[in-house]
């Protein structure tokens, strides 16, 4: 897997990132399907360890990567495709203000079947001040989720 990620990154088609929190690996985020020319876009997939879910780790990571893609890489559009039943991943993009664009029926083959995905997108013009800046400004200031709280929402993969 690492060899594939490195090869795709070297070819300019993918940007893989690991997510660390308090010095330990807690997730992964990849910008894949990078397309240049008149499109200049990529799509993001992610996952985070449930032990840090609800602490703002994934929205912060996605905001940072989106800003990097818009400002340093030169992409114009970022998409995130999420299975409709994946509430935790949907909340990540909703918190950040990604626009829901619709349903892609039978979009990806996962767990032995073709699964529907909702498409969320954001363009560079929608966040001229940067997504991380907007996220920090609008982020609710509440206490972090108690990891012992069994009523908390577990994290699930982004796709």
Spell out the per-residue pLDDT of the chain, length 159, in tens.
Answer: 889 988 999 998 999 999 999 999 999 999 999 999 999 999 999 999 999 999 999 999 999 999 999 999 999 999 999 999 999 999 999 999 999 999 999 999 999 999 999 999 999 999 999 999 999 998 877 545 444 433 333 333 344
> What structural domains does the chain harbor?
2-138 (3.40.630.30)
pTM of the model: 0.85
Rounded Cα distance between 35 and 90, Å, is 24
């Amino acid at each position: 897997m690492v060899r594939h990620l490195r090869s795709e990154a070297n070819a300019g088609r993918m940007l893989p990132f690991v997510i660390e929190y308090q010095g330990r690996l807690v997730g992964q985020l990849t910008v894949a399907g990078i397309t240049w020319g008149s499109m200049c876009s990529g799509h993001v997939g992610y996952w985070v360890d449930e032990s840090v879910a609800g602490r703002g780790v994934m929205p912060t990571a996605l905001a940072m990567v989106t800003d990097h893609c818009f400002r340093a890489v030169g992409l114009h559009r970022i998409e995130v495709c999420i299975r409709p039943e994946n509430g935790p991943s949907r909340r990540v993009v909703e918190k950040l203000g990604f626009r829901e664009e619709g349903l892609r029926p039978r979009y990806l083959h996962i767990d032995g079947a073709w699964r529907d995905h909702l498409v969320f997108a954001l363009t560079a013009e929608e966040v001229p001040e940067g997504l991380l800046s907007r996220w920090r400004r609008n982020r609710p200031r509440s206490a972090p989720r108690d990891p012992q709280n069994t009523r908390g929402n577990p994290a699930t993969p982004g796709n």
